[in-house]
Amino acid sequence: MAVATRPAGEESPAPKKVTVLGSTGSIGSSTLDLIGRNPESFVVEALTANRRVDELVRQALAVRPRIAVVADEGAYQDLRAGLSGSGIEVAAGKKALVEAAQRPVDIVMAAIVGAAGLEPTMAAAKRGYTVALANKESLVCAGDLMMREVERSGGVLLPVDSEHNAIFQVLELDRIDQVEKIFLTASGGPFRTFSREQMVGVSPEQAVAHPNWSMGAKISIDSATMMNKGLELIEAVHLFKVSQDRIEILVHPQSVVHSLVAYEDGSVLAQMGTPDMRTPISYALAWPHRMRTPSQRLDLAEIAQLTFERPDSKRFPALTLAREALKTGGGAPTILNASNEVAVQAFLEGKLGFLDITRVVEETLGRIAVHQISSIADVHHLDVEARRVAGEFIAGVAA
């Protein structure tokens, strides 16, 4: 089974055994917040982080997983020292990260940001686990491969992104032929009303200041360029098995309506809520049931007005680049994602202007021949090549 349908009459198992990949990031931290509020419902098997050892140690001592893993092998001794005497197993390195993802559990929260999350997420999918997917790059870079593995293993894929989770809540998957349109909503980010000229000199500090959501730096920059919505478009095509011409983007500044599904009878169903990632995370953790969250409750009378507008592809070309990559197919989305990650990092480091982010992506897409993706090795090869080409172009721009 791929994206799951709700089983009828099934009681919620308790406690669920959970692994959190990328526990120190925004999604991982929110996941542990919910688990901490419901200790009778969850047992933590494994926590993983990239290199934030102090935070990983703090989390591990709080929720007591069987194992804590840091991807950066240079941080192993610090992790070992921090958890000395706790009885918690420690490990380090990419291999250990994949092994942690394969440990028997009820649900794996895949919350590693970027292409680095692909291999451990794929490892969990191959085992047939329920994967709560917050790592959109897994589907952007290797969507066909990921969905095939989920189908083959009999696993379950639960979308955690607020937009995809919203669609999942209102989409009748067994009646997908009756869906006319899926609408992904976007806040528009901090520069929604800026002209191209105004965006020329914006700083990383301005770009990460999202008006509604609390997110990590990379995702916040993607929201500012609207590349985040382009990646979500690609993800939605794989998750819900619909063509991209049936998916539209709507800018919705209030971030209350998280996505909508329009049916052939004229009905439009929307999932609404305050902008708090703990709501979609809780839906994935508790599925096929629901669980109480501390999220602020929605007060429509106080909000008073909900507005929608079409995105401006001239000011935000990332959406066009994503649609073109999806149309090209093969490894084009992998190139899109890798070059964007490199460009965003360069912008955060002050080596690149804001408007140059999409320019780097466009140039990289134009310089690399696109081939079909038939294995994770193909994805890695193309990812490395795209990063190299993007890096060389950035160096030329900076010079």
CATH number, domain of 22, equals: 3.40.50.720
Residues 49, 139: one domain?
Answer: yes
Classify residue 292: in a domain, yes or no: no
What span, in angstroms and rounded, lies between the C-alpha atoms of 214 and 179? 32
pLDDT, average across residues 144-159: 94
Which runs of consecutive H residues, i.e. helices, occur in the chain? 26-37, 53-63, 76-82, 94-102, 118-126, 137-153, 162-170, 196-199, 204-207, 217-225, 227-240, 278-286, 300-303, 318-328, 332-348, 356-367, 376-398
pLDDT at residue 8 greater than cutoff 60: no
DSSP 295: P
- For residue 37, being part of any structural domain is answered with yes
Pair (214, 129) in one structural domain:
no
| Amino acid identity at 310 | R
**High-pLDDT (> 90) share of the chain, %:** 87
- Cis peptide bond N-terminal to 15, omega within 30: yes
pLDDT over 90 (residue 145): yes
Among 131, 160, 189, the domain-final residue is 160
Q: Which domain holds residue 250?
A: 171-274+305-313
Q: Which long-range contacts (CB under 8 A, 24 or more apart) does 89-97 make?
A: 91/67, 94/119, 96/69, 96/71, 97/21, 97/48, 97/69, 97/71
Does position 298 have pLDDT exceeding 90, yes or no? yes
What's the mean pLDDT when you consider all of the chain? 93
pLDDT band, residue 110 (cuts 50/70/90): very high
In a domain, 93, yes or no: yes
Judgement on whether residues 257 and 354 belong to the same structural domain of the protein: no
Structural tokens at position 80: 């070992």
Amino acid 234: pLDDT = 97
Q: Which of 388, 313, 390 is nearest to 356 (CA)?
A: 390
Q: Is the pLDDT of residue 304 over 70?
A: yes
One-letter amino acid at 88 equals I
More confident site: 173 or 382: 382
Write down which residue in 127, 160, 193 finishes a domain. Answer: 160
Q: Are residues 140 and 193 in the same domain?
A: no
221 within some domain: yes
* Same domain for 152 and 29: yes
On whether both 33 and 68 belong to a single domain, the answer is yes
Are residue 21 and residue 123 in the same domain, yes or no? yes
Total of domains in the chain: 3
Q: What confidence tens digit (pLDDT) does each residue in 42-81 have?
A: 999 999 999 999 999 999 999 999 999 999 999 999 999 9
Q: Which two tokens stand for residue 60?
A: 């591990």
Decide if 140 contacts 373 (C-beta within 8 A). no
Confidence of residue 5 (pLDDT cuts 50, 70, 90): low
pLDDT value of position 173: 81
Q: What is the pLDDT of residue 398?
A: 65
Are residues 136 and 88 part of one domain? yes
Residue 273 to residues 270, 279, 293, 299: CA-CA distances in angstroms? 10, 8, 12, 9
Largest CA distance in the chain: 64
Whose structure tokens read 């070992």? 80
Q: Using the predicted structure, report yes or no on whether residue 237 has a pLDDT greater than 60.
A: yes
Residue 281 in any domain: the answer is no
Query: Do residues 175 and 153 share a domain?
Result: no
Confidence tier at 399 by pLDDT (50, 70, 90)? low
Residue 124 has what pLDDT? 96
Residue in 266, 101, 232, 88 with CA at minimum distance from that of residue 159:
232
CATH number of the domain enclosing 391: 1.10.1740.10
Is a pLDDT exceeding 50 seen at residue 1?
no
Answer yes or no: do 116 and 25 share one domain: yes
Q: Are residues 354 and 387 in the same domain?
A: yes
Contact 232, 249 (CB under 8 A): no
How confident is the model over 332-360, as a mean pLDDT? Answer: 96
pLDDT above 70 for 11: no
The answer to whether residue 8 sits within a structural domain is no
Last residue of a domain, one of 160, 186, 215: 160
The side-by-side arrangement of strands in the sheet containing 130-133 is: 89-92, 67-70, 42-49, 16-21, 107-110, 130-133, 156-159
**156 and 23 part of one domain:** yes
Under 8 Å between Cβ of 322 and 227: yes
Per-residue pLDDT averaged across 104-122, rounded? Answer: 92
Residue 295 within any structural domain of the chain = no
pLDDT surpassing 90 at residue 367: yes
How many residues are listed for the chain in this entry?
399
- What is the pLDDT at residue 99? 97
Phi and psi at 259, nearest 5°, equal -175, 165
Residue 14 or 154, more confident: 154
Mean pLDDT of the region 94-106: 96
Q: Is 289 within a domain?
A: no
